[in-house]
Structure 1
């Protein structure tokens, strides 16, 4: 499995990159490469196009409906609806139930069909806690996590490798379940200890992300969703104070390769 960081800035697009977006790739037994996009937040559709032709996407999964995680789906919808190719199928979008009406509201229309076309570009599928589904070689477990809006984290298995994506969450048991023995734990660390203690049930700090990694025995941790106003070395140091495994910061353009050798190690 390959994970491309399209954007990883927390809460809004930052001066050095877009908000959340991660492209997953994996080859099935026939050699076909499947491509699943995980979140497409503000500013992320632009850099996505430098990595792949968006027409090659097989599906999108959306953790929650804050703009930094879904807003650039408006651009993807325009791309899909008005593309010069007329053979694009409906693109499956797995997201919280309100997504279609949110997109229509942003685009200032009634209904889900863009002007001038005769069908919806997206095929909407509703996420629910504990739902399991597959997209090609990807097997996906969904758990609801702790955030001010309906929000989900994902445990994604492909072959012998496991990726866990926290989405946006504070400490919760579901997160530990999702990350159990994960080969890569892509974990948000939007807050820092002390400065953000007045907020609860919103984001992890670096310390709490590290504690989640310890509790779940995650094999490797990549911290993400750090806002532009935060020195990323602070949550990194917080996580490192409790977690002694491989640990790094997400960066736009980074690519992570997971394979059987990683699990064997």
Structure 2
């Protein structure tokens, strides 16, 4: 399983990165499958550096803040108005129950049909796995000030000469500390975890984001193999974030960088 950072800027696009979007790919022995975790503002253009839009097998949304979902509107245009046609049919999209209506409203469409002719919308059910190609994707409810917010656990089983191997990527979405975040990340090979706040600066804000220290604590409790910090806003100091995380996590630690790929 491979992870490519399409966008990792927190809350809005920055000069070096779009907002949240992560390309995850895995081989089932017959072909490579590609899914997107979130599609935040600014991400659609950058995603085309790494794949054809027709190669998107599905999109999985952690929640409906614009920095995690709004470029679905641009993808709607690409599917609907491609002069050469769109041969792949509707793109599956999993997300909160309000996803289809929210996207239609954002683009000024009537709710019926909205974007349902371009996307096959599915509602998350807490802890109910979705199977797609080599992937099993499971949502866990987390603590963020929207009606539905999820951390996403992605398991991919791929063939090797010694038999099938399963790797686990956990993605926090946006969240403050909560037991469900640890549950989603337990035993993960890589934990892609937001760290939008700083210790001391943002202590008065509860239930919105993690600091590096709180992300590290969740990673330690979940016993993950690698921690990759993401969703840092442009005003954050990445060195400070890493130092905070190092107080509570002693494993392999880095900050996500747009354009970099990782083997999970």
What is the TM-score with the length of structure 1 in the denominator? 0.93
The equivalent of 1:133 in structure 2 is: 130
Match among 188, 193, 196 for residue 194 of structure 2: 188
- Between stretches 84-93 and 174-183, larger displacement belongs to 84-93
CA contact (8 A) 2:105 2:111 kept: no
Correspondence 1:22-101 to 2 at 5 A? 22-30=22-30, 32-83=31-82, 84-101=84-101
SS of equivalent to 1:186: strand
Q: Does 1:252 align with 2:251?
A: no
CA displacement at 1:232 relative to structure 2: 1.2
Q: CA deviation at 1:111?
A: 2.5
1:37 and 1:57 in contact (8 A); partners too:
yes
What does the per-residue CA deviation read over 1:27-71, in whole Å, with 9 as the maximum and x for residues that have no partner? 0022x1100011000111110011111111100000000000001
Q: 1:140 to 1:86 in 2, by over 3 A?
A: closer
Q: Is the 8 A contact 1:81 1:114 kept in 2?
A: no
Asked if residue 102 in structure 1 is aligned to residue 102 in structure 2, the reply is yes
Distance of 1:143 and 1:134 partners within structure 2:
15
| Aligned match of 1:154 | 152
Tell me if structure 2 keeps the 8 A contact 1:80–1:88. no
Q: CA 1:86–1:191 in 2, change beyond 3 Å: closer, same or farther?
A: closer
Instruction: Note if 1:165 corresponds to 2:171.
Output: yes
Structure 1 residue 104: Cα displacement = 1.1
**Count of residues in Structure 1 that have an aligned counterpart in Structure 2:** 254
* Distance in 2 of aligned mates of 1:39 and 1:152: 11
| C-alpha distance in structure 1 between counterparts of 2:142 and 2:14, whole Å | 25
The RMSD of aligned alpha carbons is 1.2
Contact map agreement 2:79 2:86 (CA 8 A) in 1 = no
**Structure 2 SS opposite 1:124:** strand
Q: How far apart, in 1, do the equivalents of 2:140 and 2:242 lie?
A: 25
In the alignment, structure 1 segments of 5+ residues that lack a partner are 259-265
Distance in structure 1 (CA, Å) of the matches to 2:229 and 2:86: 40
Q: Aligned to 1:103, what secondary structure does the other structure show?
A: helix
The whole-number CA distance in structure 1 between the counterparts of 2:81 and 2:29 is 33
- Equivalents in 1 of 2:86, 2:189: separation in Å? 39
Shift of 1:114: 6.2
Inter-partner Cα distance in structure 2 for 1:114 and 1:201 = 32
**Alignment match of 1:198 (pick from 192, 199, 204):** 204
Unaligned runs of 5+ in 2: 158-165
Classify the secondary structure of the residue corresponding to 1:94.
strand
Q: Report the alpha carbon displacement of residue 87 of structure 1 after superposing the two structures with TM.
A: 1.9
Q: Is the 8 A contact 1:63 1:167 kept in 2?
A: yes
Conserved 8 A contact 1:145-1:175: yes
| Structure 2 partner of 1:18 | 18
Superposition deviation, residue 85 in structure 1: 2.7
* Structure 1 range deviating more: 103-112 or 74-83: 103-112
